[in-house]
Structure 1
């Protein structure tokens, strides 16, 4: 009442307004006060309404963004703070690779003894100066076509002959003319051939480039001597187109060079770039990848060998 008397307001002219959000205030209205007071009142009303509008906008924004009128500052702060990284797990040390135990290729044969090959039909039969075929003769030899043979008629086992024709046709497609100059030889033919070489060159020399009877791969019916259009079939054959093509592609058709360069101490025979033996496509590929001499490669295969009486 004292405050009302000080400003000359009558109590009945005081209007109290309650705002819906819980705020409470009062606006004193005096109809008889000067216009200056009225302008001031309007100014405060506008400010009040502006504040209300701002609060309403902020509340609406918070509701849309956070789903509530007032943001969860504690939760936001927790989101902003990166969690402490978990201590890195110690990576287990990789196990040391186990060394593969590979048995060295060793000749299991007694060098002082001669063995007999029990099964000459076996494509992997080991035929060397130590392992003989006796008088074995293949039962499925077939004649080779005339266009493949050089002058004479030659024979091979059926499977070897089929793959030989595939090799010959592939070489022809590459412009290479390959001829067969020797194939299957019986025990009797090999006997006469070695005796002739020994007579002209001496037995010791003949033993380096010709097999004794029973020790020749030609007796298997799967070995071939290749040549070109010329008569030359010796070491210079490696430098001919035929020799180069065979050295690169023969394995694809199941043929392997039996006596490669530098293998005389292993095989007992001089380098023969013309002499190839059919052992099967897969085996020929494995032999090429291994880099082993053919007789070393064949030691990996279990064979039945018996001592010669």
Structure 2
């Protein structure tokens, strides 16, 4: 099994530049996509809270992104942003560059042999629906993951008894220096909600393999998943999705409930009364409110049950 530093580079980026985006506003290179300085991120994440990115880049296509990354100063922090679920952007904003993969990366197609080729910005709903129409079964659970291919490949996203590790063939990554690598699933060292993807690596595409199936049966299973989510989760609120990982042999929501945290509030943030493993922005919460509430829940659960919950939601940026 190869390690991340052994992955074969098959396409390099543009020549490097001694200058890179910084706080002085200098931008010594051209892009075809949209590049914004001090870009507010709250409107782009599900919690609708948090600060700005030093720079937000929305590339026109893969070549645009490769050229952009290849000109950045080595060591510049890079973070990919999809639909903004499962994410807390801290109030001090995000240093370096946030790359948002939009419509140019939101494709999904059946390429034969029950393999779906998908862009890093494609949503779980799009991928599962396209697979259904092509008669590809086994990807229905992606209907229940509120995110994009890039995010759930990185986090080994899962729902309803399945996870990305079960279906991933390989993925294409852009590294922070602009180099382009293809990594087989076996090299990602998947475990529960974890992969070996290095920080700053951007998943721009992935291949998933399913099995032959009947579109009507696949659609019925997707409808069942959608209905289950609607009935059990606070989908019509400003939330970030599942907050804590399930501990081995247990359910996070049960531990939160046992610790008396259902409906608990801190500032404008609240533990959902509908599903206690969800935090919600109830009343103009800051990200500090939301993260602080999560930490208080962790403290109470540990005190009550002896179990230390691990965050599933990613928290990024300056406090």
- Using structure 1 for the length normalisation, give the TM-score: 0.22
- Using structure 2 for the length normalisation, give the TM-score: 0.21
Q: Using CA pairs below 8 Å that are at least 6 residues apart, which structure has the higher relative contact order?
A: 2
